[in-house]
Copies of this chain bind each other. A is one copy, B any other.
């Protein structure tokens, strides 16, 4: 039996940390030569893992060997330069180093007092980011608002929905529970809003059926007249319109809802307006893309996007701003005796556990801070500009090929297209393209048709990768 190694030892960590950093660097270097997606059947990975965990310690080298032998072949390589599916991973080295430092420090940011630097850096960096995106002053921590990091946009919309519910019912629901059988609360989002809105409506007890799915216009944006009609009709029959989620960049096609118009309708009913800019929001750091992305934000109660989707921060990192932080805290605060402390009691500090579902929280602000500092704002802008330009090129190639339909003009770096021959042909083409292992694309429904989506966003994706993907698609289209 090998001598027991200490679990938490600086010198052991120094040595093993280097080996792991090298493994990651080697993995990154290997990405272009790997097939993007694995050829796996259910159970393949588990069939290589022993039935029982080890009683005695095993060396790192054995674990790394198993990463190569068992784990890496079972990965879809989200950071592959030819990954164009879903929304690609958008990690950078600096962000991963921030994640590592957060794990190495091991502090809890639930209360200001449980690590002041964790809370203050997060608040500060979210103020930075608000400025970079051109979001309105109402979201700044210097006023009544402020930003917070959550794991994902799903959690962001969940807490926004709870805050909205409590505002609509004067905190009665939080204590007495919902009564949806009588004057139900009604929420609204477009049919192409992210699934997390409907999921959250189920979780918080509103009920998925009380989320009205508003139809789209011809370009995939919420039909605001339809929204107004639905809200008016609900109000007229005694229901309570209380929440509208506008989508800035739908998952299917990247469509950007007309937020300012939606805001005007929501305001007539005093409904909470949440803007889900999960993917597209990042592009607001470029002045030339900003206007449609942040339009209407000055009337939004909450506005969120994922730096992990397109701003070179590794998953997970959702930035959520609220205009009235007191509304969020009132809905979510829960301070048992053992969390009470003088700093909280003065009201002079932020306790971020009151802004989220979990109590515990990592030092997530570090990775956003390190990304902004070690890359700089201008590099982030150029990163996004390149992708938008390449999507435009790709879309032109699609449009020029008579076998294809470009289903919409590209929204930022997202292109949706299909074969004129119909859905079955499009599905078959997508399968054949992905089977090459040379590129990876996913699908969506756009205007009722099956679409192949090209989402450009990978940290190492080049123009050549985009053009090669087009050639592959075009070659396999016959």
| Beyond A91-B106, A96-B100, 14 extra complex contacts between A and B, CB < 8 Å | A8-B79, A8-B459, A9-B93, A17-B100, A28-B104, A62-B373, A72-B117, A74-B115, A75-B116, A76-B114, A77-B107, A91-B103, A202-B332, A338-B443
A29 within 8 A of B: yes
Which residues of B have CB within 8 Å of A13? 21, 24-25, 28, 93, 96-97
A424 within 8 A of B: no
Task: Give A339 to B10 CA distance when docked, in angstroms.
Answer: 43
Task: Give A334 to B27 CA distance when docked, in angstroms.
Answer: 33
With an 8 Å Cβ cutoff, the count of chain A residues facing the other chain is: 166
B96 touches A177 (CB 8 A): no
A376 touches B99 (CB 8 A): no
Query: Shortest 4 CB-CB distances between A and B: which pairs?
Result: A205-B205, A177-B207, A74-B117, A177-B180
A10 touches B29 (CB 8 A): yes
Identify A370's interface contact among B63, B129, B334, CB under 8 A.
B63
A377 touches B114 (CB 8 A): no
Known: A120-B46, A251-B338. A104 touches B24 (CB 8 A): yes
Q: Mark A157-184, 1 if CB is under 8 A from B, else 0.
A: 0100010010000000111111111101
A53 touches B152 (CB 8 A): no
Which residues of B have CB within 8 Å of A349? 42
A219 within 8 A of B: no
A303 within 8 A of B: no
- CB pairs A–B below 8 angstroms (19 shown): A7-B92, A8-B92, A10-B28, A11-B25, A23-B101, A27-B104, A56-B378, A57-B375, A63-B373, A75-B117, A86-B114, A96-B103, A178-B207, A194-B359, A195-B335, A196-B334, A205-B205, A252-B337, A337-B444
Kindly provide the distance from the CB of A455 to the nearest chain B CB, expressed in whole angstroms.
11
Task: Give A236 to B354 CA distance when docked, in angstroms.
Answer: 36
Kindly provide the distance from the CB of A102 to the nearest chain B CB, expressed in whole angstroms.
9
Kindly provide the distance from the CB of A160 to the nearest chain B CB, expressed in whole angstroms.
12
Task: Give A331 to B101 CA distance when docked, in angstroms.
Answer: 36
A78 within 8 A of B: yes
Identify A106's interface contact among B94, B314, B337, B360, CB under 8 A.
B314
A195 touches B108 (CB 8 A): no
Task: Give A373 to B54 CA distance when docked, in angstroms.
Answer: 6
A204 touches B205 (CB 8 A): yes
Identify A7's interface contact among B25, B27, B93, B173, CB under 8 A.
B93
Identify A177's interface contact among B40, B74, B209, CB under 8 A.
B209
A476 within 8 A of B: no
Known: A176-B209, A178-B205. A45 touches B99 (CB 8 A): no
A198 within 8 A of B: yes
Identify A99's interface contact among B7, B103, B315, CB under 8 A.
B103
A203 within 8 A of B: yes
A67 touches B107 (CB 8 A): no
Of residues 11 through 53 on chain A, the ones whose CB sits less than 8 Å from some CB of chain B are 11-14, 16-18, 20-29, 38, 40, 42-46, 49, 52-53
Of residues 54 through 95 on chain A, the ones whose CB sits less than 8 Å from some CB of chain B are 54-60, 62-63, 67, 70-79, 86, 89, 91-95
A472 within 8 A of B: no
A204 touches B207 (CB 8 A): no
Which residues of B have CB within 8 Å of A206? 177, 205
B131 touches A52 (CB 8 A): yes
Task: Give A196 to B358 CA distance when docked, in angstroms.
Answer: 8
B8 touches A53 (CB 8 A): no
A117 touches B63 (CB 8 A): no
B99 touches A99 (CB 8 A): yes
Known: A45-B116, A251-B338, A336-B195. A379 touches B7 (CB 8 A): yes
Q: Mark A323-347, 1 if CB is under 8 A from B, else 0.
A: 0000000011011111100010010
Which residues of B have CB within 8 Å of A92? 7-8
A112 within 8 A of B: yes
B114 touches A155 (CB 8 A): no
Identify A176's interface contact among B96, B151, B207, B335, CB under 8 A.
B207
